[in-house]
């Protein structure tokens, strides 16, 4: 099986988050009203975070429990930072 899956899910989640931030806003207008950043923070990052969270709890890695929890909470964190910056 895959070793250190909590590390891979965290890194993959951060990469997807950064790429979705860079992508144009109107990229997915044919398919959905959501922007790429919305899709990644509402669906993809929390799924990867939950997988990594379960794996890191099983391996008792406190650092990756915290980091994968941040992936799970990526949507509220992004909304809070956006509210602070663009108010």
The tens digit of pLDDT for each residue in 60-83 reads 999 999 999 999 999 999 999 999
In the structure encoding, which two tokens stand for residue 76, read together?
A: 């509220």
Q: What is the spatial distance between Cα 72 and Cα 68, in angstroms, rounded to a whole number?
A: 6
Band of residue 37 on the pLDDT scale cut at 50, 70, 90: very high
Q: What is the dihedral of CA 9, 14, 17, 18, to 10 degrees?
A: -150
In the structure encoding, which two tokens stand for residue 11, read together?
A: 């890194």
Quote the pTM value: 0.89
Q: What is the spatial distance between Cα 74 and Cα 87, in angstroms, rounded to a whole number?
A: 19
């Amino acid at each position: 099986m895959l070793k250190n899956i909590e590390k891979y899910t965290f890194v993959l989640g951060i990469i997807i988050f950064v790429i979705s931030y860079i992508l144009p806003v109107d990229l997915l207008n044919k398919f959905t009203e959501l922007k790429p950043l919305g899709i990644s923070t509402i669906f993809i990052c929390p799924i990867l975070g939950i997988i990594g969270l379960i794996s890191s709890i099983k391996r008792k890695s406190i650092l990756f429990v915290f980091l994968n929890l941040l992936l799970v909470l990526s949507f509220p964190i992004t909304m809070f930072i956006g509210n602070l910056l663009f108010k």
